[in-house]
Amino acid sequence: MTLLDHLRGEMAERAAKALIRRRRTLDTPCGPHAVVDGREMLTFCSNDYLGLAAHPALAAALKEGVARWGGGAGAAHLVSGHYAVHERLEARLAEFTGCERTLFFSTGYMVNMGVAAALVGRGDAIFADRLNHASLVDGALLSRAEHHRYPHADTAALARLLAASTARRKLIVTDGVFSMDGDIAPLAELLALAEAHDAWLLVDDAHGFGVLGPQGRGALAAAGLAHWRLLMVGTLGKAAGLSGAFVAGQGEVIEWLMQTMRTYLFTTGAPPALAHALLTAIDLIEHGDALRARLTAHRQQLHDTLTLHRWQLMPSPTPIQPVKIGDNAAALAAANALWDAGLWVPAIRPPTVPPGTARLRISLSAAHTADDIARLTESLHRIEAQP
């Protein structure tokens, strides 16, 4: 058999397990009502939690940024690709998160791929929640440190692993909000364990930033936590409505990351026009209490009106509202039935979630209406009742 034959066989196996994914094409800006593959659809699959992705103020800020700063950055930040507007954005993010300093990146994946290797390596140990995002898993593997995975949110199991470790340096890694379950990590307990065992704590708050805490400052702000050993990763392509990411923490720690993170050192800086627009996005988040209140109302409406018998609406205090179905094919069939009814709700299957926990991942946005939520609920009731 040739390499291509092997590839074809593996693709056939994926198809037999209902694991083939399909890319769809939007013809309209990001929003709850979109034209997708030529069809008008009501969408519940975007991470645009505050409905800012198509906000006129962000479009205007991007246009203004391009007029002021042009297109690309031209080089890595530490060569000649760091502009005054990048500096202003990092200062604004530090002020907003309550941290001493931040470092701006093109994507959250780049941050999570690089932080672990800058803090720990061979002879050290990483302790990671089993449901962490793939970028955190990949970053842990690239660090070459021992990689210990504890059961989801099980701080007792983590405590035992930490106590048994003889590693020189330790790093605890967790999502702030888990992207496929919508639950929040036990952050206070994790920080207490980090202090007790002299470990770093890295929190990827991609799905909490902009949504949780006072003025949307994130899951750590909601828990009232701050410490020099604590690092926060925030994503700017979800609630912030644009693109990019940052890591925030104590000043000396961020300086160390800037000097040593390969994913920062060896990549071209993000366009300065993007940084210009992100300054507006942070302002919109900070003054977005009404948008967060709409999210809360949508979530409450869903829980008050959705009554399932074979499926399970998983508990989540966030805009991520998963409906667990279990079987891959059944989850895919439910997503297809919703699609046929004009609703776009993705089916999430392994390896994104553990085997046997395939689900519909409902993502709510402040841009949805109460009528949108009612239409979703009615459709789910009808489809679940079908044999």
pLDDT for position 234: 98
Find the Cα–Cα–Cα–Cα dihedral 29, 37, 179, 215, rounded to 10°.
20
> 68 — phi, psi (to 5°)?
-85, -40
Which residues, 6 or more positions from 122, have their beta carbon under 8 angstroms from its beta carbon?
144, 145
Same domain, 31 and 179: no
Confidence of residue 19 (pLDDT cuts 50, 70, 90): confident
Residue 333 vs residues 89, 94, 208, 357: alpha-carbon distances, Å: 44, 45, 30, 15
Q: Are residues 104 and 176 in the same domain?
A: yes
The sheet with strand 199-204 has its strands ordered as 101-105, 245-249, 230-235, 199-204, 170-175, 125-129, 146-150
Average pLDDT over residues 304-308: 97
CATH number of the domain enclosing 335? 3.90.1150.10
Beta-sheet pairing, 245-249 with 101-105: antiparallel
Q: Is residue 80 domain-resident?
A: yes
Over residues 253-286, the pLDDT tens digits come to: 999 999 999 999 999 999 999 999 999 999 999 9
60 plus 124 within the same structural domain: yes
Tell me the two tokens of residue 184.
């929040």
Bridge partners (DSSP) listed for residue 364:
none
Is 101 flagged in the annotation as binding? no
Residue 3 lies in a domain: no
Does residue 18 carry a pLDDT above 90? no
CATH code: domain of residue 169 = 3.40.640.10
- Which helix H or strand E contains 275, and what residues bound it? helix 272-286
Residue 9 domain flag: no
Q: Are 242 and 310 found together in one domain?
A: no
268 with 300, same domain: the answer is no
- Please report whether residue 15 resides in a domain: no
Rounded-to-integer distance, Cα 193 and Cα 172, Å: 9
Q: What is the pLDDT of residues 318-329, one digit of tens each?
A: 999 999 999 999
In the block, tokens 């709409």 appear at 294
Q: Which residues pair with 165 in a beta bridge?
A: none
Residues 157 and 281 in one domain: yes
Among residues 243, 261, 286, which one ends one of the domains?
Answer: 286
21 is in an annotated binding site: yes
Are 239 and 350 found together in one domain?
no
Structure tokens at 119: 């803090």
Tokens 């044999």 label which residue?
A: 387
Is 109 labelled as part of a ligand binding site? yes
Q: Are residues 206 and 220 in the same domain?
A: yes
Q: How far is Cα 290 from Cα 194, in angstroms, rounded to an integer?
A: 35
| Residue where one domain finishes, among candidates 286, 314, 337 | 286
Dihedral angle at the C-alpha atoms of 75, 77, 82, 87, nearest 10 degrees? 160
Average pLDDT over residues 213-218: 98
Let me know if 277 is exposed, middle or buried by CB neighbors in 10 A (0-12, 13-18, 19+): buried
Last residue of a domain, one of 286, 303, 338: 286
Q: Which uninterrupted H or E stretch holds 128? A: strand 125-129
Do residues 74 and 193 both lie within one domain?
yes
Q: Which domain holds residue 44?
A: 22-50+289-385
What kind and span of H or E run contains 303?
A: helix 289-305
For 83, the 3-state DSSP assignment is coil
Question: Are 297 and 167 in a shared domain?
Answer: no
Domains held by the chain: number: 2
Q: What percent of the chain has pLDDT over 70?
A: 100
Whether 352 has a binding-site annotation, put simply, is yes
> What pLDDT score does 21 carry?
86
Q: 14 lies in a domain?
A: no
User: Is 287 annotated as contributing to ligand binding?
Assistant: no
Does the annotation list 133 as a binding residue? Answer: yes
Predicted confidence at residue 200, as pLDDT, reads: 98
Catalytic residues: 179, 207, 238
Task: Say if residues 301 and 364 touch (Cβ distance below 8 Å).
Answer: no
Same domain, yes or no: 221 and 332: no
Asked whether residue 142 falls in the same domain as residue 214, the answer is yes
Question: At 342, which amino acid appears?
Answer: G
Please name which of 117, 112, 364, 116 lies closest in space to residue 245, comparing C-alpha atoms: 112
**5 in any annotated domain:** no
Residues sharing a CB contact under 8 Å with residue 154, sequence separation 6 or more, in sequence order? none
Each residue's pLDDT tens digit, 112-158? 999 999 999 999 999 999 999 999 999 999 999 999 999 999 999 99
7, part of any domain: no
Using DSSP, how many helices (H) and how many strands (E) does the chain show? 14, 14
> Is residue 264 within 8 Å of residue 114, measured between CB atoms?
yes
pLDDT tens string 71-100: 999 999 999 999 999 999 999 999 999 999
Does residue 12 lie in a domain region? no
